[in-house]
Amino acid sequence: MRYTTLPKTDIKVSKICLGTMTWGNQNTQDEGFAQMDLALDRGVNFFDVAELYPVPATAETYAETERIIGNWFKKTGYRDKVVLATKIAGPGDYTAHIRTNGFSKEALNEAVDNSLKRLKTDYIDLYQLHWPERQTNMFGVRDYTHSSKDPWTDNFNEILHNLDNIIKSGKIRKVGISNEKAWGTMRYFEESNAHDLPRMITIQNAYNLLNRVFEGDMAEIAIREEIGLLAYSPMAFGVLSGKYIKGIEGEKARLKLFPRFARYSGDKATEATKRYLKIAEDNNMTLAQMSLAFVTDRPFMTSNIIGATSLEQLEENIDSINIRLSDEILKAIKEVHDDIPNPAP
């Protein structure tokens, strides 16, 4: 395994982070336990979860993933071996079963306390805001269109003050953001700098060969402001395994079970995936390993969040840490990206 530290901290984390959002839906508790055992054995010390998980989010399965991790901590006693990240769900129609008061003081305190209980721990290493409260372009919306009917009012300072109090209580150590845009990221920095408030040290956004929009304004912000990307969906919902193109996906494959998650399956994305698959096969590696190796070694990357529904997939994904792409391979990837840029933003 390779390691780094969370930006501006001495918290050591693996460059591969274990994603968990299938546990409690596509995976059982026993399967989640086996994945955590394997990951820890292979040097992965960074686990990411969210109160929302598993996905798709439903009232019936709400927070089951956190409960599974908490049960594993209780069984193994391994809490001190893991850097643990979780998230408070942002507002939205599909999170109304969780709460409807956004990132208010009451919401943050409730969410943190409930996560601690489910996770069976007394602290969270990295606490993240899952997506913005305001209306903005995320989750596959390419361009920003302003809405004058957005009821949101600027509360960045208030959120940071409330997080500061929770940090001082010892319940969380550091804070981060997720599915955030350039403007929101800089507003958090502005308030942190002006008022000596906690600094967002990570941003968890989608990033993969089919969606590299982070490389625009966000990449410059990440490098210059030292906020590390935690890349989710590095395999584009499994599309970048090549299994859908080859027709070898199993019945439990994510897009078979949940066809609405089809943002990586359009014509342009499929064309690009076929070309990436050829590059990988021409260089004697799997498309999954090439895709993950590319993400892991970006200069703005802190950790690459991998997920799997089987131990075989998990082993292959973790093994990608040993692959360094040659200049020739990177040139071939660039040619595809130049021809078909961001077909699934």
- pLDDT of 37-74, one tens digit each? 999 999 999 999 999 999 999 999 999 999 999 999 99
Mean pLDDT by 10 residues, the chain (345 residues): 98 98 96 98 98 95 98 98 98 91 97 98 98 86 88 96 98 98 98 98 98 96 98 95 77 59 84 97 96 98 96 96 98 98 93
What's the pLDDT at 245?
87
Return d(Cα 213, Cα 189) in angstroms, integer: 21
As given in the structure block, the two tokens for residue 129 are 């805001």
In angstroms, the Cα distances linking 8 to 14, 131, 167, 328 are: 16, 22, 16, 34
At 116, the amino acid letter reads L
Q: What secondary structure, in 3-state letters, does 86-117 show?
A: EEECCCCHHHCCCCCCCCCHHHHHHHHHHHHH
Q: Which of 178, 219, 183 has its CA nearest to residue 200?
A: 178
- pLDDT of 103-140, one tens digit each? 999 999 999 999 999 999 999 999 999 999 998 888 77
Instruction: Render the burial of 57-95: b for 16+ CB within 10 Å, e for the rest.
Output: beeebbbbbbbbbbbbbeeeeebeebbbbbbbbbbbeeb
DSSP single-letter state for residue 23? B
What's the pLDDT at 93?
87
The reply to whether omega before 132 is within 30° of 0 (cis) is no
What's the pLDDT at 78?
98
Helix axes 105-119, 156-169, angle to 10 degrees: 40
In the block, tokens 């403007």 appear at 183
Q: What is the DSSP string of 122-183?
A: S-EEEEEE-S-SS--S-TT--S----TT------HHHHHHHHHHHHHHTSEEEEEEES--HH
Q: How many CB atoms lie within 10 A of CB 99?
A: 17
Burial (CB < 10 A; 0-12, 13-18, 19+), residue 248, is exposed
Are the CB atoms for 259 and 231 separated by under 8 Å?
A: no
Return d(Cα 330, Cα 335) in angstroms, integer: 9
Are the CB atoms for 290 and 283 separated by under 8 Å?
A: yes
What's the pLDDT at 254?
59
In angstroms, the Cα distances linking 149 to 140, 152, 183, 184, 313 are: 21, 9, 19, 19, 45
Question: DSSP 3-state assignment of 196?
Answer: coil
Return d(Cα 111, Cα 190) in angstroms, integer: 25
Q: Which residues are known to be catalytic?
A: 53
What's the pLDDT at 57?
93
Which residues on adjacent β-strands are paired with residue 202?
A: 228
What's the pLDDT at 333?
98
Question: DSSP 3-state assignment of 249?
Answer: coil
